């Protein structure tokens, strides 16, 4: 097999500058494994200059083609590029990317592999509700968008899922006779073992600088990501109830950027120095800070694999999270506390309970570490090898038909 067409969206060039380190490292690995890698990047705004194919400076056999993000034009553009490069396999980096590849699959008669990293039907339902200022929980609207997902997955020759929950989701959308084409590709969390010394030193100094009243012992709550879909408002309002029981509780809100509305909300709720906002921290620094936390609070509606939850469990930090679909398996195993409501009081109640009941807290931490251990022990290179192997198998099975 020579040519792989990877359909993705908004891919930065050169690839090592891409927003997702996992994506760039995975593609660079594929560039070593296969003869040619062509990334077809669906872009929101595009002009004629953007349509020029770009070779990546770190891999001469890796080429990026920018195409329209419009559904009709992207299907036509993908068909044009795939034909021109004579691709052997298409790899869609999400269900939406798979949908934009269906015309090409039908015309070129080559295998399509779809990589699922999130509940895209839920995300679409949440986005629509948010637009109309309705409570951003998926609800029945998610079932409507799931029909779209079903069409893509039924047309796919292999479906790669990054969590057991997504495997179950994929199974619910295709006939049972086709379940063997669904494969579990666990994420690698091995990096949590290798937090840099610089990050650890920074976190130690930061924690040491927190002096709340006369008591140096305090409850540290941490939440990662900001915005309505991340439930930042719920986290802040829950802190109000927690701080009444524990005045030395500190909440740290970490995000790529911090919207001023949340800083204003904290001020209006009467929080002084006990709610801190940190933005644009390197991943190592976030992990080092998370390792010091008493509780990781995650009232987020929109998660795929839920990286932050997995990282907290790997670091021995108990998790209290909204019961979104990505945490179904976690909830069933009892390795995190999941809250089925959006009431801040319910999150506060669980936080207080975990701190008061140390036996329950320790039991939760131990169960979570055992649950997440396979991810921590699974190397990123082995993960990339597994993905490449399934690409090869899809191609070989296609040729044998």
For 61-103, the pLDDT digits (tens) are 999 999 999 889 999 999 999 999 999 999 999 999 999 999 9
The model carries a pTM of: 0.89
Q: Which domains are assigned to the chain?
A: 3-188+379-400 (3.40.50.2000), 191-376 (3.40.50.2000)
Higher local confidence (pLDDT), 325 or 337: 337
For 119-169, the pLDDT digits (tens) are 888 888 888 887 787 877 777 889 999 999 999 999 999 999 998 889 999
- Measured torsion, CA atoms of residues 150, 156, 161, 164, in degrees rounded to the nearest 10: 50
Instruction: Walk across the sheet containing 337-339 and list its strands.
Output: 275-279, 250-255, 220-224, 295-298, 319-322, 337-339
Going by pLDDT thresholds of 50, 70 and 90, the confidence category of residue 48 is: low
Going by pLDDT thresholds of 50, 70 and 90, the confidence category of residue 49 is: low
Going by pLDDT thresholds of 50, 70 and 90, the confidence category of residue 184 is: very high
Cα distances (Å, whole numbers) of residue 13 to 65, 159, 167, 309 = 10, 27, 32, 30
Higher local confidence (pLDDT), 105 or 401: 105
Distance CA 91, CA 376 (A): 26
Distance CA 55, CA 62 (A): 6
pLDDT at 50 over 70: no
For 11-30, the pLDDT digits (tens) are 998 999 998 889 999 999 99
For 185-218, the pLDDT digits (tens) are 999 999 999 999 999 999 999 988 886 544 445 6
pLDDT of residue 216: 44
pLDDT of residue 214: 44
Q: Closest Cα to residue 235, out of 84, 339, 96, 85? A: 339
Which residue do the tokens 């779209």 mark?
148
For 242-295, the pLDDT digits (tens) are 999 888 889 999 998 999 999 999 999 988 778 999 999 999 999 999 999 999
For 335-345, the pLDDT digits (tens) are 999 999 989 99
For the chain, give the percent of residues with pLDDT over 90: 69
Give bridge partners of residue 4 from the DSSP assignment.
Answer: 37, 89
């Amino acid at each position: 097999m020579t040519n792989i067409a990877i359909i993705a969206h908004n891919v930065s060039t050169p690839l090592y500058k891409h927003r997702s380190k996992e994506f760039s490292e995975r593609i660079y690995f594929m560039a070593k494994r296969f003869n040619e890698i062509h990334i077809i990047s669906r872009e929101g705004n595009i002009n004629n200059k953007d349509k020029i194919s770009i070779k990546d400076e770190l891999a001469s056999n890796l080429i990026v083609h920018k195409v329209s993000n419009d559904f009709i034009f992207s299907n036509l553009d993908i068909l044009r590029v795939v034909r021109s490069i004579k691709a052997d396999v298409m790899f869609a980096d999400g269900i939406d990317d798979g949908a934009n590849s269906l015309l090409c699959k039908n015309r070129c008669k080559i295998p399509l592999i779809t990589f699922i990293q999130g509940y895209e039907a839920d995300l679409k339902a949440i986005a629509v509700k948010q637009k109309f200022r309705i409570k951003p929980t998926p609800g029945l609207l998610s079932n409507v968008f799931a029909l779209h997902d079903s069409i893509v997955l039924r047309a796919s020759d292999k479906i790669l899922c990054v969590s057991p929950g997504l495997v179950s989701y994929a199974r619910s959308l295709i006939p049972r006779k086709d379940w063997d084409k669904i494969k579990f590709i666990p994420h690698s969390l091995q990096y949590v073992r290798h937090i840099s010394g610089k990050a650890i030193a920074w976190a130690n100094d930061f924690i040491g600088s927190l002096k709340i009243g006369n008591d140096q012992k305090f409850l540290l709550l941490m939440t990662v990501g900001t915005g309505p879909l991340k439930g930042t408002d719920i986290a802040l309002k829950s802190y109000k109830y927690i701080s009444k029981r524990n005045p030395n509780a500190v909440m740290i809100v970490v995000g790529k950027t911090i919207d001023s509305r949340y800083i204003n909300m904290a001020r209006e709720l009467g929080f002084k120095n006990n709610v801190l906002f940190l933005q644009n921290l390197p991943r190592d620094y976030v992990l080092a800070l998370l390792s010091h936390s008493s509780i990781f609070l995650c009232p987020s509606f929109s998660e795929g694999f839920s990286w932050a939850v997995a990282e907290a469990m790997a670091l021995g930090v108990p998790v209290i999270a909204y019961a979104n679909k990505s945490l179904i398996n976690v909830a069933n195993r009892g390795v995190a506390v999941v809250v089925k409501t959006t009431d801040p009081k319910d999150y506060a109640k669980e936080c207080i309970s975990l701190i008061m009941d140390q036996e329950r807290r320790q039991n939760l931490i131990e169960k979570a570490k055992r649950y997440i251990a396979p991810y921590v022990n699974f190397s990123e290179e082995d993960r990339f090898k597994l993905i490449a192997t399934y690409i090869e198998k899809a191609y070989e099975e296609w040729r044998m038909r």
